[in-house]
Amino acid sequence: MQIYSQKDVKKKALKGARIAILGYGSQGRAHALNLKDSGFDVVVGVRKNGDSWKNAKKDGLPVAEPADAVKGAALIAFLTPDLTQKDVYAEVIDNIAKGATILFAHGFNVHFKQIKPRQDLDVVLIAPKGPGGLVRRQYQQGRGVPCLMAVYQNATRKAKDNALAYADGIGGTRGGVLTTTFAEETETDLFGEQAVLCGGATELVVKGFETLVEAGYQPEVAYYECLHELKLIVDLLHEGGLAKMHQFISETAKYGDLTRGPRIVNAATKREMKKVLKEIQDGKFARQWIAENKRGRKRYKQLMNKDLKHKIEKVGVKLRRRMPWLQETA
Ligand code: NDP
Ligand code: MG
Ligand code: MG
C-alpha cells in the first residue's frame, strides 16, 4: 500500500489555479477554508437562497451560483449531498473548461454511473477519513486528517498530481494519502456505515437497552450502560485497538467479552453482513436509495421518525441535560 506525504506533492500541480468548491456544508466549508489558507484561489458555488451563501460570505470567501463558480476553474470539487450531485453536475457541466479536474469526496455517483463524466475531464477522489469539522481543526493545528485518493479518469495524465495537490491543500498529506479505487472507496464506505459504524452500532445499543428495560431494569440505568459508556470503549479502540481496550477494562469484563461477545455478533450476523455487502456490490442498495429519493423519501422519513421516537431518545434527552460538557465537544 502506497502512502503519500507532503514530499510527494508536485510543486507545479494546480499552481495558482482556481478551485471551485460546490457545496458549503460539512466537507465543503473545511476544504474551501483550508485551500484558501494554503494559498489557492478558491470560489464557493452554492445556491443563492440557501444558508451556505451567507455562511461562505461571512467566512470571507468569494461566492457565486454553481454554474458561474465553475467558470475558469482548473478543479471543481462536488461537495453537495451525494443524491444532489447528479443534478448539480448537469447544471454546471457546460461551463467546465476542457481538461479540468472534477473531484469527489465519495465515489457513489461515479461508481454507480449516476454521473458519466465528460471524456476530456480528469476525475479524481479525495476522501478525508473524518467529518469536515475535524478536517478544518486538524489543519489549523498544523496536522491533517488522512485521505483516500483515487483516479477514475486520467484525460490529461495529470490527474494524480492534481488530486495529490488538492489533498495537500486541505492538509491530507500531513495525515497520509492512501491510494484506492472509486469502487473500493464507495463499497467499503457504504458497508462500514451500514454494518458497523451507523447501522450496526446503533442497533446494538438499542437492542441492548430494550433487553434491560424489558427485564424490568430502570431505563436510566440501561441508557448509561448501553449508550453513554460506549464512548469510553470506542475511544480506547480508536487509540490503541483491542489491546488498549483490554488494558483498561476489568478481568471480569474481559472474560465476559471473550465468551459472550461472539454469541451476540455471531455466524448469522456475519452471514447477514455478507448479504449487505453483496447488495452494495451488485448495485441493489444504490438503486433502492436512488428510487427512494425519486419517490420523495416517504419510507425513509417513516423509518427516521420511528427511530427518533424510541424510548432511549426520551431518556437520553433528560439525562444529557445534566451533563452539559457533552455539548461542548459536539
Ligand atoms: P452536506 O450535507 O454538509 O452539504 C450541504 C451543502 O450542500 C450545503 O452547502 C447545501 O447548500 C448544499 N446543498 C444541499 N442540497 C443541495 C441541492 N439540492 N443543490 C445544491 N446544493 C445543495 O454534505 P457533506 O459535506 O456531508 O458531503 C459532501 C460530500 O462529501 C458527499 O459526497 C459525502 O459523501 C462526502 N463525505 C462526507 C463526509 C462527512 O463527514 N460529512 C466524510 C467524507 C466524505 P444550502 O445551504 O444552500 O442548502
Ligand atoms: Mg459514508
Ligand atoms: Mg470482543
- Ligand 1: residue of 26, 92, 125, 129 to mutate (most ligand atoms within 8 A of CB) is 26
List the one residue out of 243, 250, 245, 211 whose CA is nearest residue 231. 245
Distance of CA 47 to the CA centre of its chain: 22
| pLDDT exceeds 80 at position 329 | no
Residue 294's identity, in one-letter code, is K
250 has binding-site annotation: yes
CA distances from residue 123 to 76, 149, 259 in whole angstroms, order as listed: 10, 11, 48
| pLDDT exceeds 60 at position 52 | yes
Q: What pLDDT shows up at residue 16?
A: 87
pLDDT in tens, 229-264: 999 999 999 999 999 999 999 999 999 999 999 999
- Give pTM, 2 decimals: 0.94
Domain ranges of the chain: 3-180, 190-328
Q: CA torsion, points 112, 114, 119, 123, in degrees to nearest 10? A: -60
pLDDT in tens, 171-197: 999 999 999 999 999 999 999 999 999
- Max distance between CA atoms of the chain, in angstroms, equals 67
Query: Which active-site residues does the annotation give?
Result: 106
327 Cβ neighbours under 8 A, 6+ residues apart = 320
Q: Which ligand lies nearest to the CA atom of residue 77 in the structure?
A: 1
Give backbone dihedrals phi and psi of 6, rounded to 5 degrees, phi first: -55, -35
| pLDDT exceeds 50 at position 330 | no
171 has binding-site annotation: no
CATH of 3-180, one of 3.40.50.720, 3.20.20.10, 3.40.1160.10, 3.40.47.10: 3.40.50.720
CA distances from residue 276 to 272, 284, 291 in whole angstroms, order as listed: 6, 10, 18
ipTM above 0.90, yes or no: yes
